[in-house]
Amino acid sequence: MMREEIISQAQTLGITEIGFVDPHDLACRKPDSSHAFSNESSSGVFDIMTDAKTIIVFLTGYLPHETPENLSVYAAGKDYHAVCREIAEGIAQPVTQRGFDIKIQVDNGCLNERTAAKLAGLGIIGKNGFLINKKYGSYCFIACIITNCKIEKSKPLAGECLKCGLCESFCPGGALSGASFDESRCASYITQKKGVLTSEEKRILNKSKSAWGCDICQRVCPMNKNAEYTNIHAFSENLVLRLSHEDISGREFRRKYADRAFSWRGKGVIDRNLSILNGKE
Ligand code: B12
Ligand code: SF4
Ligand code: SF4
């Protein structure tokens, strides 16, 4: 009953990709580590909500019709953290109206969201590390709603990616190899990194041709061939399609782009990346 109500509430908000996870099944980030996840412990969910009973997981497709020139597709539209949070609050209404608690996580907490989405039956994990969904391919954000309302869990999908290896061979940093992922060689990570870049990092950034983020391992993936465009206006309208040096202060930059996912690191990092791409560094 609650399950169906949540699914239908999600549909009214344009969300079709939704599933449910038992928190005991989910691996969580170790409290002392910023990136590594422990598959043995699920305590992180219960640190967020001691009596957590379900994680509602949903996807928002973000592929727009227009392709940005020198930034990642995910950052062209409005900041997904805020957009997905608002949708999550709407989806959770049947739960909150009955007095249950919720906590929302969109890329900002201890839950391993790709694993959560996999367990929720929303897709498979590709060799490029992405959660690949039938409808949106890998061009989807993942949002989690933790609640103390008990809802029957979903079944994970069987199957694997095509294992064609294109993501590995086209990766500008060689960050993807076999089962491992070397974050320090990922252009997406490098474009967000503060400080002076090494010559190797500059080389990777130049190969990616992007001043913010990187989409290469998604662009080459054949499983994205029929990915549907986003149905969310915030990801398809008023896009920033090109980053450039702007004669404004850091504060003005933050104000101008406050609603964009590329602004949190500040103007300096983007200017540095643009200088490298323009051959000036
Ligand atoms: C830290 C982080 C980064 C770091 C490091 C990324 C990394 N791969 O570790 C950096 C800055 C590089 C980064 C970049 C990007 N990120 Co990021 N990132 C995160 C964050 C916050 C944590 C990810 C993490 O540390 N993972 C650690 C590794 C070990 O885990 P994992 O890659 O998630 O893989 C696990 C699953 O695949 C699972 N798994 C694998 N096979 C199987 C099979 C089964 C059966 C099961 C159950 C599980 C399972 O086990 C793996 C290990 O635990 C998550 C949000 C979150 N809290 O989960 C977003 C997240 C992964 N990022 C996301 C995105 C969109 C990006 C970028 C595309 C942005 C861009 N265009 O530049 C790039 C892509 C880079 C890449 N190739 O992964 C999305 C991915 C959506 C999707 N469809 O998969 C997430 C989920 C955010 C969100 N809410 O939507 N990111
Ligand atoms: S490019 Fe090929 S190997 Fe990589 S995730 Fe896509 S299907 Fe899998
Ligand atoms: S985002 Fe770019 S650099 Fe990072 S793993 Fe994918 S292709 Fe490689």
180-196 confidence digits (pLDDT tens): 899 999 999 999 999 99
Residue 142 pairs in a beta bridge with 59
Q: Which ligand does the CA of 138 lie closest to?
A: 1
Q: Which ligand does the CA of 189 lie closest to?
A: 1
Residues 270-278, mean pLDDT to the nearest whole number: 97
> Tens of pLDDT along 62-73?
999 999 999 999
Ligand 3 center–CA 216 separation, angstroms:
6
Ligand 1 atom closest to Cα of residue 37: 53
Ligand 3 atom closest to Cα of residue 176: 5
277: Cβ contacts below 8 Å, ≥ 6 apart:
70, 205, 206, 209, 211
**Among 45-54, 130-139, 143-152, the least confident range:** 45-54
Q: In which band, very low, low, confident or very high, does the pLDDT at 40 lie, cut at 50, 70 and 90? A: very low
> What is the structure's pLDDT at 255?
96
Asked whether 155 lines ligand 1 (CB < 6 A), one says no
| Residue 31 pLDDT > 70 | no
Asked whether 5 lines ligand 1 (CB < 6 A), one says no
pTM over 0.75: yes
Tokens of 100: 């249950």
Instruction: Tell me which residue has tokens 């190899």.
Output: 177
> Tens of pLDDT along 194-227?
999 999 999 999 999 999 999 999 999 999 999 9
| Residue 242 pLDDT > 70 | yes
Mean pLDDT of the chain: 94
Ligand 3 center–CA 232 separation, angstroms:
25
> What is the structure's pLDDT at 29?
57
> Tens of pLDDT along 76-91?
999 999 999 999 999 9
Instruction: Tell me which residue has tokens 């379900």.
Output: 54
- The set of catalytic residues is 107
**How far is the C-alpha of 110 from the C-alpha of 106, rounded, in Å?**
10
